[in-house]
Amino acid sequence: MEITNDIYYIGVNDYALDLFEGQYIVPNGMAYNSYIIYDEKIAVMDTVDAKFTLDWLSNIKKVINDKSPDYLIVQHVEPDHSASINDFMKTYPETKIVSSAKAFDIIKNFFGESYINRRMIVKEGESIGLGKHVLNFVSAPMVHWPEVILTYDSYDKVLFSADSFGKFGSIDANEPWTPEARRYYVGIVGKYGAQVQILLKKISKLKIKKICPLHGPVISENIDECISLYNNWSLYEPESKGVCIAYTSVYGDTKKVVNMLAQKLKANKCEDIAINDLARCDLSSAIADAFKYENIVLATTTYNADIFPFMKTFINGLLERNFQKRKVALIENGSWAPLAAKVMENMLANSKDIIFINPVITIDSSIKEENKKQIEILANELCK
């Protein structure tokens, strides 16, 4: 696939993958992206997952025929992007491998080789000329690994963005960019908002016509919108004034409360609502919803003097990703000693800028008339 006159896509799609990183469901597969810049000198941008090494090497040959690349640029050393390095370097023994100093340490950890005699270490602000194309390197530590570099081609105004601006799904998945890019960002990068902010400030000085990430489609339209979303996500600002409801229910009574609250919210013209049954939904989607919405309702049962396990896992997932700047309502259910609200509030005690919304609703096994009034009050508060 031609990206520009001189830049070609040589990546692969993994349609058979069920769990990315062993935890994220990917119903539309996953793309492992790699690119070639064909100039007086030839640069290959990253490799692909080991399952696709032969396909990838074939893709390279289709572009350059019998020529040999001058550089293999490794922006990120996770194995889905670096596992084909050794085979590539054996195929092209004259090629130099270009990356950060930290990357070569990790390459040796994974593959037993650090390419002392064939490596070129680059730092922030350094560049390599290929002819008319000049590759400028941008350091991006902890977005989301410490070795990461990005590469900006100043001739075609293309940013090779490593794992930033990626998404779940194959490159040809027929789906909107934002939902799966959000789920990817929150799951993979979400903890590192401060580091993403530093990166965004660096690239704000660049004129960018295309973004070539290591996962998902090449971004050639709505670039400002994508960067704006990344700014929002990395500042932990909500995208929507709506409501995310995350709940667990043992015998159905907590679910009844949730459904009643949802009806009241809609009656109050608050229709942007996401409801997640944590025992049955995809956890990464539920966590992404919590980062999308301004208002979060956590509804669960007291369980073993604690909270129901799926809710505990969910809240821990939020905390691991620096959950903050949200309004949180609590609903608890308990037949003799309800403790869930207190446990959830304590779990969120160290999160920044969390506002707890009253009333806290306590269900004693089943809904009572008093609870119905509380649900109406809570719906009014959430819709303000």
Q: What is the pLDDT of residues 117-174, one digit of tens each?
A: 999 999 999 999 999 999 999 999 999 999 999 999 999 999 999 999 999 999 999 9
Domain match, 172 and 59 both: yes
If you average pLDDT over every residue of the chain, what do you get?
A: 96
Q: Are residues 224 and 271 in the same domain?
A: no
| Residue 95: DSSP 8-state | P
| Claim to verify: residue 300 and residue 339 sit in the same structural domain | yes
Dihedral sign computed on CA atoms, order 211, 212, 214, 218: positive
Share in percent of the chain as helix, strand, coil (round to 5): 35, 25, 40
- Same domain (yes/no): 208, 255: no
Residue with tokens 């070129």: 120
Which of 183, 214, 234 terminates a domain? The answer is 234
pLDDT at 1: 87
Amino acid occupying residue 14: D
Same-domain status, 260 and 198: no
Q: What pLDDT score does 8 carry?
A: 98
Contact 274, 289 (CB under 8 A): yes
**Which distant-in-sequence residues (6+ apart) come within 8 Å of 305 by Cβ?**
337, 339
* Cα 330–chain centre separation: 27
CB atoms within 10 A of CB 364: 15
Query: Of 209, 234, 259, which residue sits at a domain end?
Result: 234
Could you tell me if 265 and 168 lie in one domain? no
* Segments in the chain below pLDDT 70: none
Same domain, 112 and 218: yes
Structural domain that includes position 339: 242-382
The pLDDT of residue 43 is 98
d(CA 118, CA 100): 14
pLDDT per residue as tens digits for the range 190-240: 999 999 999 999 999 999 999 999 999 999 999 999 999 999 999 999 999
Clarify whether residues 146 and 250 are in a common domain: no
299 with 246: CB under 8 angstroms?
A: yes
Co-location of 30 and 136 in the same domain: yes
> What CATH number did the domain enclosing 249 receive?
3.40.50.360
Tell me whether residue 1 is in a domain. no
Cα–Cα distance, 20 to 39 (Å, whole number): 34
Strand, helix or coil for residue 77: coil
Predicted pLDDT at 328? 98
Are 84 and 111 spatial neighbours (Cβ–Cβ below 8 Å)? no
One domain for residues 37 and 75 = yes
For 50, which DSSP code?
A: G
SS3 59: helix
Same domain, yes or no: 224 and 249? no
Cα 64 versus chain centre, distance? 33
* CB of 327 closer than 8 Å to CB of 384: no
Residue 2 lies in a domain: no
* Separation of alpha carbons 130 and 146, rounded Å: 27
From 201, 234, 267, give the residue that closes a domain: 234
- pLDDT, residue 23, reads 95
Helices marked H in 2-97: 53-64, 79-82, 85-91
String of DSSP letters for 126-189: -EEE-SS-EEEEEE-TTSSSTT-EEEEETTTTEEE-TTTT--SB-TT--S-HHHHHHHHIIIII
Same domain for 108 and 12? Answer: yes
In a domain, 217, yes or no: yes
Q: How high is the pLDDT of residue 337?
A: 87
